[in-house]
Structure formats: C-alpha cells, structure tokens
Structure 1
C-alpha cells in the first residue's frame, strides 16, 4: 500500500456492502474514504454515537431557521468546527453554499479542501435537504392527491 493510502486509511464503504467473491465487506480508500467520512460526519447529529457523543455536525437544528446571511454563516461555522475536530486528514479551504435550490428544499454545500498527505485540492458537494419527511397538504400539487382522496388511493 502506498504512503498516501496509509495516511488516508481504508474503511468500510458507506452504506456497508459485502463482496461475494471475497466474502468480506467492500472497502474504500484514498479520497473516496475521506469523502464518505465527510458525508457521515455531516449527517451525524452530536449525541447519536453512544461511545463518541461529541462526534457529528448539528446541521439538522438549522432546518427550521430562516435562511438569511446569519443562518448561512452559522451553517459554515458548524461545518468548519466539525471538520476541524473530526477530520484531521484534510485542510478546509472554503465553504460555498448554493441557495438556488432553497425553494425546492435543498442547500448545496460545496467544500473545497486540501488533502494533507498529498497537498492535492478536491471539492465535495453535500446536499442539505430542508424538507426531508415533509407532510404535503392535500391541495399541494407535489402530493399527487386532491381533496376527497386518501393515502390509500381507493378508499373513499
């Protein structure tokens, strides 16, 4: 194994999968491992991991906030702190937040980072879904239902 993979490590693919040929877990290494670790870090709320309660990034608490410059700055700060404390393999250069999909319920967070082992720059785009699990009203065209219909679609 080369020096970069030694430093960056090898981990389970996420979501976990198994290889029938090797009868073992599918493993990833290098930049793929770093990006999967970033995805896990950003989707884990602090307190979810019993043995490591401080691990994670509290982005979910921002879901119901009004999206203004102050909120976007706080989101950047939360991400910076999480990466600083829990992802030592990279140096974060910049965070850009694309709000063009805000009314569709998604913020696209672009992380520009440098791998410390090779001094190579990479980008990672993380979609933060703001309407995940949203309950749509009966007259909302996205629900596909109108008044008089029920979720069972045949039950009157």
Structure 2
C-alpha cells in the first residue's frame, strides 16, 4: 500500500495505516471538503470552505452555491483523479452530511462517499 491513511494513525500492528488507491482518493476528497481556505501554509487556496457556509441562512440559493463550491474545489484539486457526478450537502441537528458521487478516472469505477461532521 503506497499511501498513508487520513487521518494519520497506527494500524493494529502499530505501524502507519496504509491505503489503496481508491481509499486514498476518498481520503483526499475528505481533505478538500473540510479544509478551510487559508488553513494550509503552503497552499492557502486549498479547500472549499464548506464548514464556513454551514451557518448561513438556509435557502435554495445557498444550497446551489455550496454544491457549486464543492464541485469546483473537487474539480480543481482532484480533477485528474476523479470525475464528480453529484454532490449533496445537508445539515440536520448540528450534523453536516456530504455525499459525493464520483468516477475514478483510473479504472472507471463509480463510487459514493459519505462524510459527516458534528457542527460546533
């Protein structure tokens, strides 16, 4: 396994957890979604600012803006690895849920990744 898992941590043997290619891509999607632009020192434009938009008043316009922001960030940062087919973002009872349907460019495998975060 040539990649490290995100978040970094030990496996059952006490070594760094590894990831195959498909798991690594899923981990990268999670990093793009939940990294606030400006958070990374050498990549200040990395991320999509999803967590910042959660507290805005809920509306169809906001939902469309969030979807476009997420899709644009995934295309910018992972466009060589995946083709994003759909993004669904919802917030209920202080929990943010994001579903991303995508196709791995290598092997043309369709995937669905679900991510949840408790909101502060």
If the TM-score is normalised by the length of the shorter chain, which range does it land in? 0.7 to 0.9
The 5-angstrom pairing of residues 71-86 of structure 1 reads 71-86=62-77
**Structure 1: which 4+ aligned runs deviate by more than 6 Å?**
none
Q: Larger C-alpha radius of gyration, 1 or 2? A: 1
**C-alpha RMSD over aligned residues:** 2.1
Q: Which has the higher strand share?
A: 2
Q: Is the Cα contact below 8 Å between 2:3 and 2:21 reproduced in 1?
A: no
Q: Which has the higher contact order (CA 8 A, sep 6+)?
A: 2
Shift, 1:105, TM fit: 2.0
Structure 1: stretches of 5+ with no match in the other structure: 134-156
Structure 2: stretches of 5+ with no match in the other structure: none
| Alignment partner of 1:105 out of 88, 94, 111 | 94
| TM-score, with length taken from structure 2 | 0.86
| TM-score, with length taken from structure 1 | 0.68
> Deviation string for 1:33-54 (max 9, x for gaps)?
1111111111111111111111
